[in-house]
């Protein structure tokens, strides 16, 4: 596994430190193959299952990651995507060697179409982007990398969507016997993880929240992830849409980093809870860098508050 996966990019920025009052280490997955951490899980899934065909539903980073992982492994990959997906996303999956199955979501849901395809291809593996032990195991590789950071950390802050990344990082840190507290972060308008942690059970969002952090538009945490997160998360920090955009700008201006909004949530959490992190060594996981250019330009162009 470790010969294929690209190590995470460790970035330090004195100017970011002076603006946050913390000692921040960015662990950036923006240069992972296909531009996000999803490749870690996707490759682990594709390499571990015996099936020669893998089917998934994804309009985002997992589809690209799985397509590329399958092409490296000589497997076939079908990705179900809504027919109104951005053309660049459809092209990316195709370019990485995946077959795109466009579905009219006004007529058929993605999960319906996924079930249809699974019935058609009984020899295929149906992969979940965030609810599979193989996903946690793949993402644990990032936890192990973080565990080996010289100087250690007082806290690790991780974006939460379906919870696969945070569960993997908790698992990887445990394997390396690091007791560093792991904070999840999610949009305030998609705060199902926070509510789940308080309730002690999975609480789902009623509909897909339209946060700018599109990796956090999931309805709920995956069951396998929840088992790890309910005990392993120190807390979940809710961040505003405005703070996410501010974090994207800070990363761009002071760390030369192109981050997608979901990836910038970890820095947004540090901005939001300055009281909690002041003076501490904080690892912010930047989960990915794939963002629609128009959205990125809009955020970067906005006057600083």
Under rule CB under 8 A, which residues in 42-61 are in contact with its own copies?
Answer: none
> What are 284's strand-pairing partners?
26, 157
Which member of 137, 160, 255, 285 binds its own copies (CB under 8 A)? Answer: 255
Which member of 20, 23, 27, 35 binds its own copies (CB under 8 A)? Answer: 35
| 293 in contact with its own copies (CB under 8 A) | yes
| 30 in contact with its own copies (CB under 8 A) | yes
Q: Kind of pairing, strands 53-57 and 155-159?
A: unpaired
Stretch that binds its own copies, among 167-175, 186-194, 208-216, 292-300 (CB under 8 A): 292-300
| 252 in contact with its own copies (CB under 8 A) | yes
**What is the per-residue binding string for its own copies in 261-290, x denoting contact by CB under 8 A?**
----------------------------xx
- CA end-to-end span of the chain: 43
Give the sign of the dihedral formed by CA 190, CA 193, CA 199, CA 203. positive
Task: Give CA–CA dist 56/156, Å, rounded.
Answer: 30
* Minimum distance from residue 151 beta carbon to its own copies (Å): 12
Task: Give CA–CA dist 253/263, Å, rounded.
Answer: 16
Q: Kindly report the number of other CB atoms within 10 A of residue 138's CB atom.
A: 29
* Residue 264 CA to its chain's centroid (Å): 11
| 151 in contact with its own copies (CB under 8 A) | no
- In 3-state terms, what secondary structure has residue 130? coil
Q: Which one, of 90, 32, 103, lies nearest residue 63 by Cα?
A: 90
Cβ–Cβ under 8 Å, residues 57 and 83: no
Q: For its own copies, which is the closer residue by CB, 29 or 171?
A: 29
Q: For its own copies, which is the closer residue by CB, 208 or 292?
A: 292
* Minimum distance from residue 72 beta carbon to its own copies (Å): 9
- Contact positions toward its own copies, by CB under 8 A? 6, 9, 11-12, 14-15, 18, 30-31, 33, 35, 68, 92, 95-96, 252-253, 255-258, 289-290, 293, 296-297, 300-301
């Amino acid at each position: 596994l470790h010969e294929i996966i690209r190590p995470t990019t460790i970035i330090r920025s004195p100017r970011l430190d002076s603006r946050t009052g913390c000692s921040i280490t960015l662990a950036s997955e923006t240069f992972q193959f296909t531009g996000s951490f999803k490749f870690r899980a996707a490759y682990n899934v594709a390499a571990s299952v015996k099936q020669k065909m893998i089917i998934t539903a994804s309009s985002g980073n997992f589809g690209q990651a799985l397509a590329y992982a399958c092409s490296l492994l000589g497997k076939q990959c079908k990705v179900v995507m809504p027919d109104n997906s951005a053309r660049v996303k459809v092209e990316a999956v195709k370019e990485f060697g995946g077959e795109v199955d466009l579905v009219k979501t006004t007529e058929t849901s993605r999960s319906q179409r996924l079930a249809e395809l699974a019935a058609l291809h009984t020899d295929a593996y149906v992969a979940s982007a965030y609810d599979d032990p193989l996903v946690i195991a793949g993402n644990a590789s990032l936890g192990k990398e973080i565990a080996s950071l010289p100087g250690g950390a007082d806290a690790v802050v991780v974006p939460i969507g379906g919870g696969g990344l945070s569960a993997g990082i908790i698992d990887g840190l445990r394997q390396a016997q690091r007791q560093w507290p792991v904070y999840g972060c999610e949009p305030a308008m998609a705060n199902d993880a926070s509510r789940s942690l308080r309730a002690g059970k999975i609480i789902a969002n009623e509909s897909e929240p339209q946060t700018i952090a599109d990796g956090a538009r999931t309805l709920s945490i995956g069951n396998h992830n929840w088992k790890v997160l309910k005990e392993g998360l120190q807390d979940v920090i809710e961040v505003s849409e405005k703070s996410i955009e501010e974090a994207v700008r800070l990363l761009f201006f002071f760390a030369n980093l192109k981050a997608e909004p979901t990836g910038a949530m970890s820095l947004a959490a540090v901005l939001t809870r300055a009281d909690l992190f002041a003076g501490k060594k904080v690892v912010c996981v930047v989960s990915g860098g794939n963002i629609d250019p128009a959205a990125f330009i809009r955020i970067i162009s906005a006057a600083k508050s």
